[in-house]
Amino acid sequence: MAACNFSSGVVESKYGVQYNSSEELASVVLFQCYPEALLQFASACCVVFMLIGIPGNLTTIVALARYKKVRNATAIFIMNLHASDLIFNCFILPMTAMTFVKGSWTHGWVMCRLYAYFKFVLSSSSLSSVVAISINRYVIVCHPLIYPRMYTKRIITIIICIIWASALAMFVAPNFGAMGRFDLEPNEGFCTMMPDSNGSSPKNVFVIGFALPYLIIVFCYARIWWVVKTAKKVQNNSPRATQPTQLPLTQTQADKIKEENTVTSCDPSSPDSIYSTSDNDKEPTPADTSAPQSPREDNVLIKYFKAPFRHTRKLVRRKVPSSRDKRLCAMIVVIMISHCFSHVPVMVTRLAYKEFKTKPVLNVFSHLLLFSGTCINPIIYVLMSKEYRQAYKSLFESIIKKFRHSN
């Protein structure tokens, strides 16, 4: 293979070339050693990802937002994940496709910095959303009693704001040339994060920050697996637990779930579906055995006797998740695996290969895997979740109905 020369007349320092104008960027010939067929294939894949990802992510956000049966904390974090993917499809992929076709960066000096900045920001917010989904599943299965207090509307809003604020703030410094810089990397072919004049760059820290969230995800699902396995074993050995428990005389878990500031009542895998008490387990209260009362008197008696007898409720017993719970959990696990599969290759190639002159196929395909992760989730929902399919169906039926009425 002939030697590749990315020189543009700009003097290259120890930490790469620093381009100061749009003309200097446009003069750099990218992908010089890459087969033309490979570049055309990569550009076509970017277009396909856009055609699938933009309507797919937008449809998912609208469908989950309007369909009440799946409107819960998990769905909110999933919508946030799709918001990141939608922005990526609308902003990053068009410029990437054009760069593959033209073999040079023709979008200008400002867009080069914005392209690199938002590519890292969107990757960070996407990963943070996946972590939030994993923690949500962990709490609802392993700590159901604190779930209603943790996932109120206010707290969920705060979590979403933290995800975006941390992602936006994490990569502000390189925009000003501190702790790295955003510039064109000719060997890789795209604008990305480069070391600054002192050789410092948060890229290695970002790799560590990429590995840590996946450790959290692994812990959450390992713990979920253990709790479900233990609950199944206990249920097989003892069909019904009769040991009483001392519950607080304040609001119970069922009472809290009904509060307006919680979103758990619509959760298909809410604590009520995994942790429940049958009607036969409840001991009768005096109101059950007394003579018929008027509705007002009956309400007064129930309210009067409610607190003293609340501590005699039977032990809330862990149940093996239903088939719907298992399908939801399996779908989320597949989302985690697909996210890892799409993001890990590009991270590994960046660490293993500083030069991509002799690794064109590896460079292109690792980036295509990263881009594919922004459009694959809607396909997973259609294949694996009956509730999410129903959400899509409800949205499309509503659109068709409005279209018919308009005509």
- Is pLDDT of 359 > 70? yes
Same structural domain for residues 303 and 337?
no
- Is pLDDT of 240 > 70? no
* Closest listed residue to residue 79, CA positions, set 152, 164, 169: 164
Give phi and psi for 289, each to the nearest 5. -105, -5
Residue 260 belongs to some domain of the structure: no
Q: What is the gyration radius of the CA atoms in the chain, in angstroms?
A: 27
User: What percent of the chain shows pLDDT beyond 70?
Assistant: 68
Residue 249 belongs to some domain of the structure: no
Same structural domain for residues 97 and 120?
yes
DSSP for 22-85, please give it.
HHHHHTSPPSTTS-HHHHHHHHHHHHHHHHHHHHHHHHHHHHHHH-GGG-SHHHHHHHHHHHHH
Residue 203 belongs to some domain of the structure: yes
Same structural domain for residues 219 and 291?
no
CATH number at residue 360: 1.20.1070.10
Question: pLDDT of 71-102, one tens digit each?
Answer: 788 899 999 999 999 999 999 999 999 999 99
Same structural domain for residues 179 and 307?
no
Residue 204 belongs to some domain of the structure: yes
- Is pLDDT of 284 > 80? no
DSSP label of 258: T
Q: Which domain holds residue 213?
A: 28-232+326-406
Same structural domain for residues 203 and 78?
yes
Residue 259 belongs to some domain of the structure: no
Residue with tokens 């949500």: 136
The whole-number pLDDT of residue 296 equals 52
Residue 128 belongs to some domain of the structure: yes
DSSP label of 90: I
Residue 92 belongs to some domain of the structure: yes
194: β partners:
181
Same structural domain for residues 57 and 124?
yes
Angle, nearest 10°, between helix axes 93-102 and 360-372? 160
Same structural domain for residues 137 and 284?
no
Report which residue type is found at 393: K
The whole-number pLDDT of residue 308 equals 42
- Is pLDDT of 401 > 60? yes
Residue with tokens 């009607």: 279
User: What percent of the chain shows pLDDT beyond 90?
Assistant: 25
Same structural domain for residues 187 and 282?
no
Whether 64 contacts 45, CB under 8 Å: no
Domain count along the chain:
2
Same structural domain for residues 196 and 69?
yes
DSSP label of 183: E
Residue 100 belongs to some domain of the structure: yes
Same structural domain for residues 81 and 228?
yes
